[in-house]
Structure 1
Amino acid sequence: MGKRKLLSRQYSSCWVSTTTSLADIGAKWRVRCTSYLRGHPMKHSNIKAWFGLLYFVACAGTLLASLVGVAIGPSRLAWAGAGIASAPFIFLWMRAIQGGKSAPRGVWPALLRLVSISGLLLSATAVSRGSGTPAIAALAGLIAIGYVVFDLWYSRFGRPTNPQLRPGQKLPVVSARDMSGTEISTADLEGTPALLMFFRGNWCPFCTAQIRQLARRYRELNDRGVRLVFVSPQPADFTRRVADSLDVAIEFWVDSDCSAARGLGLLQQDGVPVGLRGRYGRDTVLPTAILLDADGRVIYCDETDNYRVRPRPEVFLEVFRSHGI
């Protein structure tokens, strides 16, 4: 019994030391990645497009394999670790698709990285004790490392501050088309406060989650006289599906050639993941929410640097409220 307690304490001490070291390494790499992205804004979009597709397939496949392995295989513990390693990525996507929520904030990003790495450690421990093959641990390692890359590199744009969208600036005039195909421009927004949001498309669950969140608060924004306009470069038919799924009169504009996004410095070249380009094209927009007063001046602009993190509707309501709107 004494020997078992001693081993348990040693294992706990090793676990705490390992997780602390991994957290420190993650923090250091986050600083390095952030610094690199700021020095190389918007580069490697095409590499990211491939990474997004491959990592999604890898996580989905690993989760399915782990469910089967835990249920009927002899390597249950090793497969459980692989499944845990893939769980954070699947959790984020399901939270956005099913719950209509953006990525959690605060300590959650670090906690999700730790969960993925814990899955790797569990799988590696199981294999070292003879429960499972090294290939399972290698798969868990690939998924865990991939999640860290996803969180610290793939999710971030490294976008510089846009001088055209600073508060107090008059919004440059750019044109798009409404759902009837009629040309319309941002100059038409003058005379009423507006929330102009550029979203990437139906393929981005975090964009659609943000749209649903705003749709639920539409009445409050409408009562303040705020005009809601969502702009996307995706084909009109896809945008129409989003519009038809909502029970509120939100305006949708189509920026099919990305001219409006380009005019406002919001173009992301090669931003559409590989596998979706046949339907959505190669280029997309940087998710951006621009709040305008009745004179067409910017009063607030959210230029998120992480596509998974979006402001809640309460932020926009408070901005309008603080400006007497």
Structure 2
Amino acid sequence: MLKSIYVSAFITMGVVGLVFSGVQIAHAGLASPWLGTAIACAGPVLFFVRAYTLPIARTSANMPLILVAGVIGTGIAIYLGSALLSAPALVAAGVGIAGSLLYIFWYSRFAPAEKVVLSTGVMLPAFELTEDGKRISSTQLTAKPALWMFYRGNWCPLCVAQIKEVAAQYRELAARGVEVILISPQPQSHTAALASKVDAPMRFMTDVDNAAAATLGVLEKNGLPAGMQVLGYDSDVPRPTVFITAAGGRLIYCDLSENYRVRPEPSEFLAVLDRQPVAAA
């Protein structure tokens, strides 16, 4: 719950800090200590703007440029304001340094799973999904090799970008006899909107009440940023997860995300399929 509230507050404070700084600079000029605040707030704000406007599926683990912007901005605010505890310096340090550190090293990372269900070599446990309003058992989806992806929802730009990456590789996956199954707890209308933007015949499934994510040990309680419930999303979300099953349901690859910003390259999936048999054992 704290993470849910934090990330919404962090984004809001970054935007407000950047806008307010811009207003102050317009009145006082570039010699204003608010210049440093603008630089510090610009780091995280530009990251989120870039994530929502460009197809970015992953980032570096530690995102050093954002932290550098925070430190430089705070230093400028202190220097131009001649006061360590001035308002510009406090906002710069709060958003650009403290806020960014929390985002990078706390919010982005998942706690160790309470139970590990998915691992290479085991059989995929049985669970149910919904497709176009019809209940489907996972056992009905393991007759042929499959790449499974749990994604958080349309609200997560990295998830959407990752799906588009897989869609771009669909022909190569299909040539290897692999079906792609995308799973999210979001409403069917949201999923249909996403599917209409993806030019590949992948199967979009709904995980009602996150039952499958809970069964597989990839459920994150209160993982949705606070306030986004008004858009119809559930407060609980799956952590981004990708696994591949051979025909028959045995796992030959599994990536359980420890950091939602660090995701496997799509070429990794093809490499796994090329070096491991995918026919039923």
| TM-score under structure 1 length normalisation | 0.79
Alignment of 1:37-56 (within 5 A): 46-56=1-11
2:40 pairs with 1:81: no
- Alignment match of 1:177 (pick from 126, 130, 138): 130
Say whether the 8 Å CA contact 2:37–2:92 is kept in structure 1. yes
2:55 pairs with 1:114: no
Give the aligned CA root-mean-square deviation in angstroms: 2.1
Distance 2:31 2:167 in 1: 44
Say whether the 8 Å CA contact 1:95–1:102 is kept in structure 2. no
Say whether the 8 Å CA contact 2:246–2:277 is kept in structure 1. no
2:113 aligned counterpart, secondary structure: coil
* Superposition misfits of 4+ residues, deviation over 4 angstroms: none
1:184 aligned counterpart, secondary structure: strand
Per-residue deviation, 1:76: 4.6
2:116 alignment counterpart: 163
Pair 202,76 (structure 1): closer, same or farther in 2 beyond 3 Å: farther
Per-residue deviation, 1:300: 1.0
Pair 177,125 (structure 1): closer, same or farther in 2 beyond 3 Å: same
Residue segments in structure 1 that go unaligned for 5+ positions in a row: 1-45
1:245 aligned counterpart, secondary structure: coil
Per-residue deviation, 1:72: 4.1
How many pairs align?
A: 276
Q: How many percent identity over aligned positions?
A: 34
Alignment of 1:128-277 (within 5 A): 128=82, 134-144=86-96, 145-160=98-113, 163-178=116-131, 180-277=132-229
| TM-score under structure 2 length normalisation | 0.91
1:230 aligned counterpart, secondary structure: strand
Say whether the 8 Å CA contact 2:113–2:218 is kept in structure 1. no
Residue segments in structure 2 that go unaligned for 5+ positions in a row: none
2:233 alignment counterpart: 280
1:124 alignment counterpart: 78
Per-residue deviation, 1:314: 1.0
Distance 2:66 2:276 in 1: 37
Letter matched to residue 244 of structure 2: L
Letter matched to residue 310 of structure 1: R
2:273 alignment counterpart: 320
Distance 2:31 2:259 in 1: 36
Distance 1:203 1:76 in 2: 39
Say whether the 8 Å CA contact 1:194–1:226 is kept in structure 2. yes
313-322 or 82-91, which deviates more? 82-91
Pair 52,239 (structure 1): closer, same or farther in 2 beyond 3 Å: same
Say whether the 8 Å CA contact 1:92–1:103 is kept in structure 2. no
Pair 217,88 (structure 1): closer, same or farther in 2 beyond 3 Å: farther
Per-residue deviation, 1:89: 1.7
Distance 1:311 1:162 in 2: 22
1:234 aligned counterpart, secondary structure: coil
Per-residue deviation, 1:276: 1.0
Distance 1:94 1:324 in 2: 42
- Alignment match of 2:13 (pick from 58, 67, 90): 58
Say whether the 8 Å CA contact 2:220–2:237 is kept in structure 1. yes
Say whether the 8 Å CA contact 1:77–1:122 is kept in structure 2. no
152-161 or 250-259, which deviates more? 152-161
1:300 aligned counterpart, secondary structure: strand
Say whether the 8 Å CA contact 1:96–1:209 is kept in structure 2. no
1:289 aligned counterpart, secondary structure: strand
2:11 pairs with 1:68: no
264-273 or 154-163, which deviates more? 154-163
Distance 1:220 1:98 in 2: 27
